[in-house]
């Protein structure tokens, strides 16, 4: 009995730091149980300090969160991933696997076999865990009822909790596999934004565009760090451009979108392909809902690939970066980027150009601002330290075009085969 109480107390004590990790992006802990759970799932912080006990949320956790309905479910999944040395975690895993094994036995006796098939399918790789407990299957209440009510909404033996529990165990099995591959440490952010090689590194998270950073040391801020002067429009041209440049590089979303149109400009000058950002009719040029991305090859042949939001997601994914806290759909990101684009146009960083008769309008970098990118203030962020990020922008555009071509050919082949049948 004492062991069961100790296990429950141990696991309940982990909920607060795990909640902080998922809500703020990092947590501080030297609890050996928590450290064991977070290996491979969170980045140890401060690469220059081997004694650091700071942990930063990872892309892996963000990916796992998309399969669940709440942060509480993800915490529940984390709590059952511990190795054999983490006795409390193993006890919880055993208790929940016994319950699901009992539900599987129960489903196997019903007239509809699909119920059992659905349950096993939902368990995914965790079905192996459950199968190993078939000999001691149970539908009785566990010793973790308090934890279950906190994280699952009801004690686990109740029938309505079964789908949630199966979902949690499926994600837990995925997390336990990742725990075998430890993540590298991650450094603090360089606050001025002039070191994109540090800030836009593998594993870094970036907050949604409308959220101010709650974890300002390791997660890229979703809102501007650098305020613009109130008398911006009254400043001389050179001072105005300098102020806007400082705002751009200190605001991660504004910087990424500016670097995209900067790389578009460089690519165009090289005449080795092109990236086009076109505005479909019926949208506001100041607040576009879905810019179309077209990529041209060396011969100038343009191919529509998708929306601007989808392009940004591809760039972040190629860098092993993720949007914090819960990721975003393409449509959601398009809507939020619209506000950033509006600011960039207002401050003459982006410019909208009307298309010729019958053609769509398009966006490019403002010619005056592109000159500032080559200057003393802009050069570190747009040239010296931006090579990897610029390479990601261009390579993802080229890859997207290639993938779109292959997809189009596949569809055409299928249509021809269908018409010939």
Confidence label for 363 from pLDDT (cuts 50, 70 and 90): very high
pLDDT in tens, 31-77: 889 999 999 999 998 665 555 688 999 999 999 999 999 999 999 99
Q: Which residue has the higher pLDDT, 300 or 168?
A: 168
For position 48, what pLDDT does the model report?
Answer: 58
CA–CA distances in Å: residue 242 to residues 234, 246, 355: 13, 6, 30
- Identify which of 324, 340, 331 has the alpha carbon closest to the alpha carbon of residue 289: 331
Q: How many Cβ atoms are within 10 Å of 223's Cβ, its own excluded?
A: 15
At residue 181's C-alpha, the angle toward residues 177 and 185, to 5°, is 135
Contact at 8 Å (CB) between 164 and 73?
A: yes
Residue 208, helix vs strand vs coil: coil
HEC string of 42-56 equals EEEECCCCCCCCEEE
The pTM (predicted TM-score) of the whole model is 0.88
For residues 273 and 271, give the distance between their C-alpha atoms in angstroms, rounded to a whole number. Answer: 6
For position 1, what pLDDT does the model report?
Answer: 54
For position 216, what pLDDT does the model report?
Answer: 67
pLDDT in tens, 154-199: 999 999 999 999 999 999 999 999 999 999 999 889 988 899 999 9
Burial of 396 (0-12, 13-18, 19+ CB in 10 A): buried
For residues 86 and 102, give the distance between their C-alpha atoms in angstroms, rounded to a whole number. Answer: 24
Q: What is the mean pLDDT of residues 95-109?
A: 92
Q: Which of 113-122, 160-169, 223-232, 385-394 has the lowest mean pLDDT?
A: 223-232
Q: Is it the case that residue 201 has pLDDT exceeding 60?
A: yes
For residues 343 and 43, give the distance between their C-alpha atoms in angstroms, rounded to a whole number. Answer: 33
For position 28, what pLDDT does the model report?
Answer: 86
Q: Which residue has the higher pLDDT, 304 or 209?
A: 304
Instruction: Show Cβ contacts of residue 353 under 8 Å, excluding neighbours closer than 6 positions.
Output: 361, 362, 363, 364
Q: Is it the case that residue 414 has pLDDT exceeding 90?
A: no
Q: What is the mean pLDDT of residues 296-319?
A: 94
For position 276, what pLDDT does the model report?
Answer: 96
Angle between the N-to-C axes of helices 308-318 and 387-420, in degrees from 0 to 180, rounded to the nearest 10:
120
Enumerate long-range contacts of 417-420, CB under 8 Å, 24 or more apart: none
Q: Is it the case that residue 126 has pLDDT exceeding 60?
A: yes
For residues 357 and 378, give the distance between their C-alpha atoms in angstroms, rounded to a whole number. Answer: 36
For position 421, what pLDDT does the model report?
Answer: 64
């Amino acid at each position: 009995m004492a062991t069961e109480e100790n296990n429950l107390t141990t696991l309940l004590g982990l909920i607060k730091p795990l909640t902080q990790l998922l809500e703020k992006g990092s947590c501080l802990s030297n609890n050996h149980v928590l450290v064991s759970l977070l290996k491979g799932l969170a980045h140890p912080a401060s690469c220059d300090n081997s004694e650091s006990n700071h942990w930063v949320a990872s892309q892996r956790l963000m990916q796992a969160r998309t399969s669940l309905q709440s942060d509480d479910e993800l915490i529940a999944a984390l709590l059952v991933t511990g190795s054999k040395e983490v006795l409390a975690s193993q006890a919880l895993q055993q208790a929940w696997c016994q319950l699901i094994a009992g539900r599987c036995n129960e489903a196997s006796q019903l007239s509809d076999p699909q119920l059992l098939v659905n349950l096993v399918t939902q368990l995914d790789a965790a079905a192996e865990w459950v199968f190993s407990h078939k000999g001691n299957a149970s539908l009785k209440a566990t010793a973790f009822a308090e934890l279950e009510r906190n994280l699952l909404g009801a004690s686990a033996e109740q029938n309505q909790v079964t789908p949630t529990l199966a979902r949690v165990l499926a994600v837990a099995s995925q997390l336990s596999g990742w725990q075998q591959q430890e993540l590298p440490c991650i450094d603090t952010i360089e606050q001025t934004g002039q070191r994109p090689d540090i800030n836009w590194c593998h594993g870094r998270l970036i907050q949604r565009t409308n959220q101010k950073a709650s974890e300002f040391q390791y997660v890229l801020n979703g809102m501007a760090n650098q305020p613009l002067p109130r008398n911006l429009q009254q400043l001389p041209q050179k001072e105005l451009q300098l102020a806007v440049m400082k705002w751009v590089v200190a605001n991660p979303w504004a910087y990424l979108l500016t670097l995209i149109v900067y790389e578009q400009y460089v690519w165009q000058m090289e005449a080795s392909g092109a990236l086009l950002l076109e505005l479909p009719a019926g949208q506001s040029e100041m607040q576009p809902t879905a810019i179309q991305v077209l990529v041209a090859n060396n011969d100038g042949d343009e191919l529509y690939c998708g929306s601007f939001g989808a392009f940004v997601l591809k760039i972040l994914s190629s860098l092993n970066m993720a949007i914090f806290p819960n990721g975003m759909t393409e449509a959601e990101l398009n809507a939020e980027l619209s506000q950033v684009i509006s600011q960039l146009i207002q401050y003459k960083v982006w410019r909208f150009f009307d298309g010729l008769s019958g053609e769509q309008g398009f966006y490019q970098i403002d010619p005056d601002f592109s000159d500032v990118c080559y200057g003393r203030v802009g050069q570190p962020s747009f040239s010296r330290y931006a090579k990897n990020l610029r390479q990601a922008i261009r390579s993802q555009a080229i890859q997207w075009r290639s993938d779109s071509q292959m997809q189009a050919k596949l569809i055409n082949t299928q249509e021809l085969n269908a018409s010939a049948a």
